[in-house]
Structure 1
């Protein structure tokens, strides 16, 4: 793939051509930001290109069974603190959508399917700036750190 493009730019054509495919992203120099970007583009796994055969077989097994292969450092970032506060408990109980406006809920669903702000803006007939405002409001209301956490929450509930 082209190293001058972001991971999202590299995965977009793959996602369009092979919508039902299970995507595993491998990187020579893996990093958390690239991993998060890969998962936001609906990749099912992210790993080092130098992973051993046993690890690759484990990844294949997890992905084939419908799971997601997430490295330990990414998992720690996603989980954040271990103490559940009231808003987190509500999210865990599936009540997260009740705190969002209709538009915020639409934006959250669009993020969960991997749309970019630009794509969401086009789909909803609003400006990208408005989308960014909705994304910020959703993340604040749900006390989430990033789009990946939001996508995982939407897909769970």
Structure 2
């Protein structure tokens, strides 16, 4: 896959590597892997082999069409950053700096949702944390976990051998039972729990 222009400009020594060759990277936790997502596979399917080959590497996930659920899925797989493949050189340098210092780069959109009222009210959250899984049926729990790793309704339906309509019903029931507003809140809750 071709290396994005801004990435080449920011890091002239960056090179494309096949997954098996990632095991040659130093295991000191200083190597950054800039991983360009491919379509047709879940984030879990793409990140798991990278994490297995280079467990100490710092992974930055780059997406051609970034979205919040995909970002959450990347972070649930222990990525250190998630950004647009077409981000400018200055942004990429900032991302590298944050990640190298042990931080996590969260884009503005998802940060606004986390800070700007996307979290459930404190009493609702207290009710849900530690107990949220107990109020769900087995199928609802399975759907909640699938949402947390970034699967779409269609992917969940295929995986569980049910219709998309049934998935939507499960998602609605889960959100109602846990008093959550959206899939983002659900993904955050599952990740924390």
Q: Does the 8 Å contact 1:12/1:41 carry over to 2?
A: no
Which runs of 5 or more structure 1 residues have no equivalent in the other structure? 2-7
Pick from 12, 24, 34: which aligns with 2:61?
Answer: 24
Q: How far 1:138 moved relative to its partner?
A: 1.2
1:88 equivalenced with 2:125 (yes/no): yes
| Separation of aligned partners in 1, 2:42 and 2:110 | 25
- Mapping of residues 8-157 of structure 1, within 5 Å: 10=39, 12=41, 16-21=45-50, 22-25=59-62, 34-42=66-74, 44=79, 45-47=81-83, 49-52=87-90, 54-61=93-100, 68-81=104-117, 84-91=121-128, 93-157=129-193
Q: How far 1:54 moved relative to its partner?
A: 4.3
Runs of 4+ with deviation above 4 angstroms: none
Q: How far 1:70 moved relative to its partner?
A: 1.3
For the pair shown, the structure with the greater C-alpha radius of gyration is 2
| Separation of aligned partners in 2, 1:141 and 1:18 | 31
Structure with greater proportional helix content: 1
Q: Does the 8 Å contact 2:43/2:73 carry over to 1?
A: no
- What is the root-mean-square deviation in Å for CA atoms of aligned residues? 3.3
Q: How far 1:134 moved relative to its partner?
A: 0.6
Q: Does the 8 Å contact 2:124/2:179 carry over to 1?
A: yes
Sort the Cα spacing of 1:59 and 1:132 in 2 relative to 1 into closer, same or farther, 3 A.
farther
The CA deviation string for residues 26-52 of structure 1, in whole angstroms up to 9 with x for no partner, is 66xx9xxx3314314426323361152
TM-score, scaled to structure 2: 0.57
| Separation of aligned partners in 2, 1:95 and 1:13 | 28
